[in-house]
Structure 1
């Protein structure tokens, strides 16, 4: 404490001397050589004396409080991870800073994947704006609050129906953070598809390889084989190769299939097919989606220009596929939980069209292996289009 007082006194004296030097600029004759020498001396004093003293004081403070603080932080981290309720630490925009194990299980997100992403992407589209507003208000120190939110279909509840949560928000300032964060604690709101309570027994881990992964791999191989046969067998299916491919993927690989074809000579895209689910969310909006111009869809336009594939799990931007005539985002109309936008590119790099695949409800999101298979099929479709 005495060292800190001495350092503060020296710093005060230094500031007084600097103020006197600044005052000499107003004297007749301007700045004199003696004053310049004094200013250089004061700068050297800061570099050689004051700054090293500050570093010594900071190091002493860290050594004095370091071990205890580290132990306390380790305890707090362990408590945070072992809390039975899902808990997330958010910034004022709803972006996840960290989440505990229960939250990663609830939202189906790994901690490393969730960090830096907005948690609102896991909520139903109509809930997102209100949730962002409440988080921002709490971060502005306008008081803690609770609200009810609905998760996107397919998260936590499977096919049992919508899942609602009570989310309690409160402002916190974690150690080392320069800005206020928001602590979000989630609790089941009851009703169909509610989250299981802590009293329900957990399923024991399955030893050995996951049969689901093996089955998924076999299904992808079968799909690739069927796609090749569909594109080669023109006699039994005289339609465009793009339409034949879309029909094969519809239902089997994706709930929604949007097929867009480039005009001859590299012209703009035009929508040639929209295959919607036979029933369920968004099926009645197929005609509205088919009537929209693909050029108004940022994600499709980017795939056509850059020739790169886009995989979105719980897409955050509801306008990624454009909007309907009344301004409603098309992605919200489909209630898609994941999407895959695949350009139909030739080996030369020319893009002949774009396939957009959407999954909804309790269906698992697109995985990297499925995205890789879709890219291979898109090359086959592009070659078949060129040949036709």
Structure 2
């Protein structure tokens, strides 16, 4: 089957993408071990390979990428994008549905995404302390209470000096071990890859 123009462009730019990723890793001030609580080395490598294969697909969407990370890492996962100065929640994935009256609030990014975007630094919390970190519904009631006792990771999605948004992963209290700094390092590395793919798509779209 002939390759599409998008596929050929992606394959042509792969060496450039890999060089950019290697440079990004080198510039990190702290070591970034590949680690995932509860998974062995083989499972971690399988996740990296599966995610990388997805990134090479011309039909990739943020939702399909999010599904892979959600299944492997978290009970809930949000991808929030900044577009034209306005935030929107592009992807929301969860293990179970929230109460109906809070559903709308789940689609509004909270302060955590804005803070991580502003600083460019990942955040990891072994226990969710700020009830408004994830968002609130119109009447002001925090829906972060749904995740009481849980832990979270929030990392920027950025490449080439441009931030596209953030990814937040949440584990529910009692269902999974809390997130660690090593988990945050893994999520940050995968989001580096995702950002490079977004950057490549933007470059192709702009000709």
- TM (norm. structure 1) is 0.39
- State whether structure 2 residue 177 is matched by structure 1 residue 357: no
8 Å contact from structure 2 (residues 92, 107) kept in 1: no
In the TM superposition, residue 309 of structure 1 has moved relative to its aligned partner by 0.2
Secondary structure in 2 matching 1:322: coil
In the TM superposition, residue 268 of structure 1 has moved relative to its aligned partner by 2.6
Provide the rounded CA distance (Å) in 1 between the counterparts of 2:151 and 2:86: 26
Q: Which of 254, 279, 283 is the matching residue for 2:74?
A: 254
In the TM superposition, residue 253 of structure 1 has moved relative to its aligned partner by 1.0
8 Å contact from structure 1 (residues 285, 334) kept in 2: no
- In the alignment, which residue of structure 2 is the partner of 1:222? 46
CA offsets per residue over residues 246-269 of structure 1, 9 Å max, x none?
Answer: 1111232111011111215xx232
8 Å contact from structure 2 (residues 77, 168) kept in 1: yes
Provide the rounded CA distance (Å) in 2 between the counterparts of 1:221 and 1:367: 18
- In the alignment, which residue of structure 1 is the partner of 2:27? none
Bigger CA radius of gyration = 1
8 Å contact from structure 2 (residues 155, 166) kept in 1: yes
Q: Which of 55, 80, 86 is the matching residue for 1:231?
A: 55
8 Å contact from structure 1 (residues 344, 379) kept in 2: yes
- In the alignment, which residue of structure 1 is the partner of 2:125? 312
- In the alignment, which residue of structure 2 is the partner of 1:77? none
- State whether structure 2 residue 103 is matched by structure 1 residue 287: yes
CA offsets per residue over residues 224-251 of structure 1, 9 Å max, x none?
Answer: 11111111122xxx252x2222111123
Secondary structure in 2 matching 1:364: coil
In the TM superposition, residue 299 of structure 1 has moved relative to its aligned partner by 1.3
- In the alignment, which residue of structure 2 is the partner of 1:158? none
8 Å contact from structure 1 (residues 277, 283) kept in 2: no
Q: RMSD between aligned alpha carbons?
A: 2.4
| Gapped regions of structure 2 (runs ≥ 5) | 1-35, 202-207
- In the alignment, which residue of structure 1 is the partner of 2:115? 302
- State whether structure 2 residue 89 is matched by structure 1 residue 277: no
Alpha carbons of 1:278 and 1:357: their partners in 2 closer, same or farther (altered >3 Å)? same
Q: What count of residue pairs does the alignment treat as equivalent?
A: 165
Provide the rounded CA distance (Å) in 2 between the counterparts of 1:246 and 1:220: 16
In the TM superposition, residue 284 of structure 1 has moved relative to its aligned partner by 5.3
In the TM superposition, residue 216 of structure 1 has moved relative to its aligned partner by 3.0
